[in-house]
Amino acid sequence: MICVDAQGIPLVIDTESANRNEVLLVEPLIEKITLQNRHPERLIYDKAADSQQLRDNLADMGIDLICPHRAIKNRKQKTQDGRKLRRYTRRWIVERTIAWLHNFRRVVTRWEYHDYLYLNFVKLACLFTMLNRFSDYF
């Protein structure tokens, strides 16, 4: 899981096993951001985060979850309208950041047995990616 800002700079990273539900992983990621004294106003996510409980929990924190609804026929409450979903078109920034991280072979496939080693390789890849991106300014 990775959370980036509007320019694609990684703010916080969290690693988990691949068999966990993504809805359960969003809130711990947001808690890591708030530990750094940052509080996002909006969270743009894909259809995997379409859960009313997650929307309510994030609304209690003051975060607006922007994600399209999954195709559920008996949905009682629609919370996304077209105005909010226009911001969803900016999701390509997150995908671009993930593509930058996939330039590193160690990050694409987890080869390490220990999770802390993999997490540190991802952090190192983020560091090299940001140094490469901002190398024109140095």
Domain count, the chain: 1
Whether 80 shows a pLDDT value over 70: the answer reads no
Cβ neighbours of 85 (radius 10 Å): 14
Non-local (6+) Cβ contacts of 41 within 8 A are 62, 63, 64
Position with higher pLDDT, 124 vs 70: 124
Range of the domain at 13: 2-137
Instruction: Find out whether 55 and 30 touch, Cβ atoms under 8 Å.
Output: no
Q: Tens digits of per-residue pLDDT, 18-57?
A: 777 778 888 888 888 776 676 778 888 877 777 788 888 8
Cα–Cα dist 102/98, whole Å: 6
pTM: 0.73
Query: Is the pLDDT score of 87 beyond 80?
Result: no
